[in-house]
Amino acid sequence: MIIFQGETHLSNVRLGGPVTAENSSTIVWATDTFMESFELEAGVSQSVHFALVEIANDLELGGGSFFQQVTLTNVTLNSGNLIVNGTFEYGFMADAVTVRQGSANFTGLENFNLGLTVIQPTDVIFDDCHRGKVDLLCFESLQHGLRIEDSSDNRFSGQIINAGQQIDDTYDGIFVLGDSNRNRTEFTVTYTGAGNQMRYGANLSAATVDNHVEASVLTGSGATGNFNDAGTGTVLTDDHIV
Amino acid sequence: MKPPRVTGEPTAVIADHVNRLIRKFEYPDSDTIPLNPILGGGGGAPTVVIATPGSSGFSQGRADFVLGLDLSPGGFQILLNGFTGLRARILFTEGDFAIDTHIDVPTGIDFEGAGRRASRLTWGADPDITFAGDNGLRNIALIEVAT
């Protein structure tokens, strides 16, 4: 175990064991660094800035607490989970983050900006996330390509390809549920014929209100249907949905 | 001229060596206080060069300590403690440095190696290494190995 308790600068470093940042004053700056895993424990006033960082297993930021700032730039997770759970005083920014074969789960974020590529993930979940901007490419997710739950006033865009690989006709390309309102989604959802098929290209549950599905090319995506809207006040802007 | 390397590892020996390095930092113009010639003379943070028996003869010959010969992992902790409250740098030569004990790195101590594939510090699963803060790690690998 490698433990950082204060400000730490890493440059061209290989950390071959679990790394924990555990003290409330921890600030970790890492550049061109390889880690086995990294966990920022629950606390306050902690910051993480990663650039050109590769992580073999989990990258876990949070525990539901209050953090100062996290920026991830050109970060790759090779087989672990990206778990972000917390409130960030100066926002959460991630650009060019790649997750291969793990989950990408975000909880409790506000005012965030995220550029994310997920390759064969288990799932991609935004839960209780608000006022964020997400640019996502999701390829061959085992479950939903993008699950938006209890999240409002976000803008999601990107590509979802061959989601729902785990079980045929069960998972959706985009699944919006819970108290998720006024989200704007702009996606191309496609099924290329490889493996199991999605249930719906996009599926809005009854609890959703005033969401805007824009310019989404869903044709041929879902086994049950391309689009299912059980929500209230959903606005559609495209003629390629069905 | 570089003085003979400190041998043995009683606490007093290590502490004396650290004190001489610190004095060199404080009085860089003195020619009676040893400083590792690899680092040049005068000024800068106190720097200790550590090699391992697997390092090249060149590196061992110029190191202040050779871990496993004249410095044990416990002695390494004593060495680090000697710089408490100061800005200092531990420079590791190429090689595998087996440190199978818990290490606390005080505030302000930097670790620097010869490359993250060249200088490897290894730990067992149970002992850990804790960096207190204001630490820098550069060109080095810290690897947990199965024991």
Q: Which residues from A are below 8 Å from B when comparing CB atoms?
A: 1-18, 23, 25-26, 34, 36
Question: Which is higher by pLDDT, A62 or A137?
Answer: A137
Amino acid B30: pLDDT: 45
Q: Residue-wise over B95-107: b if at least 16 C-beta within 10 A, else e?
A: bbbbbebebbbbb
From first CA to last CA, the distance across chain B in angstroms is: 42
Question: Helix (H, G, I), strand (E, B), or coil: what is residue A223?
Answer: strand
Most confident range, picked from A41-55, A83-97, A148-162 = A148-162
Confidence of residue B27 (pLDDT cuts 50, 70, 90): very low
Contacts of A10 in chain B (CB under 8 A): 136-138
Question: Helix (H, G, I), strand (E, B), or coil: what is residue B14?
Answer: helix
Question: What would the pLDDT profile of B125-144 be if each residue is shown by its tens digit?
Answer: 777 899 999 999 999 999 98
Contact criterion met (CB < 8 Å) for B142 and A18: no
The per-residue pLDDT of chain A, averaged, comes to 92
Residue B51 near residue B59, CB atoms below 8 Å: yes
Amino acid A154: pLDDT: 97
Contact criterion met (CB < 8 Å) for A17 and B123: yes
Amino acid A233: pLDDT: 93
Does residue B41 have a pLDDT over 80? no
Sign, CA dihedral A25-A21-A52-A59, equals: negative
Nearest to B107 among A6, A9, A17 (CB): A6
ipTM: 0.85
Of the candidate ranges A161-175, A214-228, B28-42, the one whose mean pLDDT is the lowest: B28-42
Average pLDDT over residues A32-49: 89
**Can you name the residues that pair with A126 across neighbouring β-strands?**
A106, A148
Q: Residue-wise over A168-187: b if at least 16 C-beta within 10 A, else e?
A: eeebbbbbbbbebbebbbbb
| pTM for this model (two decimals) | 0.85
Distance (Å, whole) CA A17 – CA B104: 16
Question: What would the pLDDT profile of A96-149 be if each residue is shown by its tens digit?
Answer: 999 999 999 999 999 999 999 999 999 999 999 999 999 999 999 999 999 999
Residue A195 near residue A172, CB atoms below 8 Å: no
Residue A137's alpha-carbon distances to A84, A112, A140, B16, in angstroms, are 18, 17, 10, 59
Contact criterion met (CB < 8 Å) for A36 and B136: no
Amino acid A44: pLDDT: 78
Does residue B112 have a pLDDT over 90? yes
